[in-house]
Each structure stands twice: as structure tokens, then as C-alpha cells.
Amino acid sequence: MRGSTGQSPEGREGRESCLVGLIGSGVGPSLSPALHQREADRHGLRYLYRLIDIDPLGLGPGGVGELVRAAARLGFDGLNITHPCKQTVIEHLDGLSEDAALLGAVNTVVFGEDGRAIGHNTDWSGFARSFARGLPDAPTGEIVLLGAGGAGAAVAHALLTVGADRLTLADTDPARAAGLAGL
């Protein structure tokens, strides 16, 4: 991410602040601002985290592209993306990380120095690390996963990486669940 000084995270000296936001529906009660601010404080960063709720703006998930473009113009360094925009945001980005492309879902957008918006998916790796740390002895032979949307795809991938033998997916949209069979 670039800060308002235009420096990369590696060149933090002289960095004034990072402006980031969360785009999604009903994000008012989100814990993300407090969690991100606490972590930024630990690293000595000035971190401004803004909630961008599509509901009061009268936008559906398709409006995420307009918001991403506006955030780039306004100098945001990056965005978190949540329900229901994790999949619809993809068509509005300039590129995807390998994980985001594989999962077909984005939860993080980073604006590069060149203005390009690149989508990433950190949901799966965060879930996998938390699962391994918090449930190291949990049986992974047969697992049922409810939900195959953006976060569901990430969790399915994570469960397969931690050794799930059999993963059964259930979703209100059976085609969406079947679409994850290729993971």
C-alpha cells in the first residue's frame, strides 16, 4: 500500500498515514476498524479506516466498481471487501493475485503506485492459520461447510489445505456449491 507520502510499506519513514476502507452491506457493526487500528498502532502507523456501506448509498453489489474507482481517486491506499461484494468486485479490478483468481473472490484491494487496483484473497490463509493454531487436533476426515460464496470458497480452500479428506458443500444456490468442486 502507498501512504499519503507515496511511499511503499518498506519505506515507512516520513509516512504520514494510510487511508483504507471496508466496502460491503451492513458494515456498521464491523470490528474491522478497531482491529486494523490496533495492529497499525503496534507498527507505529497512522491508519485511517473508513466504513463504506452500500446500503445507505442505495447501491447493490454491482455498485462496488464505482466505489473502488472513487476510493482510488480520493487517495485510498487499499480496501477490504466483504459481503455481498467479494465476487462482483473482480470485474472492476486491474489484476488479481493467484489466490484471488483461483477462489474467484477478493477481500482486499491494494492500490499500487501506478494507480492499478489489485485484488487479493487473505480469507483462506487467515482461516487456515487460525484453524491450525486453534483446533490442531480437530478431526478433518469429513467436514460439512455451509455457504459457498466468497468467504465459503476461501474456507473450503483452507480446509483442503489443512488436510480435509472429504468436504461437503451446502449453499442456497446449489450451482454455486457445485462450482467450487474444482478447488
Residues tagged active-site: 86
DSSP of 13-62: TT---EEEEEEESS-TT-SHHHHHHHHHHHTT--EEEEEEETTTTT--GG
Residue with cell 494507480: 115
107, three cell numbers: 477481500
Q: Is there a contact between 100 and 78 (Cβ–Cβ < 8 Å)?
A: no
* Number of Cβ within a 10 Å radius of residue 139: 9
Q: Please compute, for residue 46, the number of CA atoms within 13 A of its CA located in the half-sphere on the CB side.
A: 8
How many whole angstroms separate alpha carbon 167 and alpha carbon 157? 10
Question: DSSP readout, 68-90?
Answer: HHHHHHTT--EEEE-TT-TTTTG
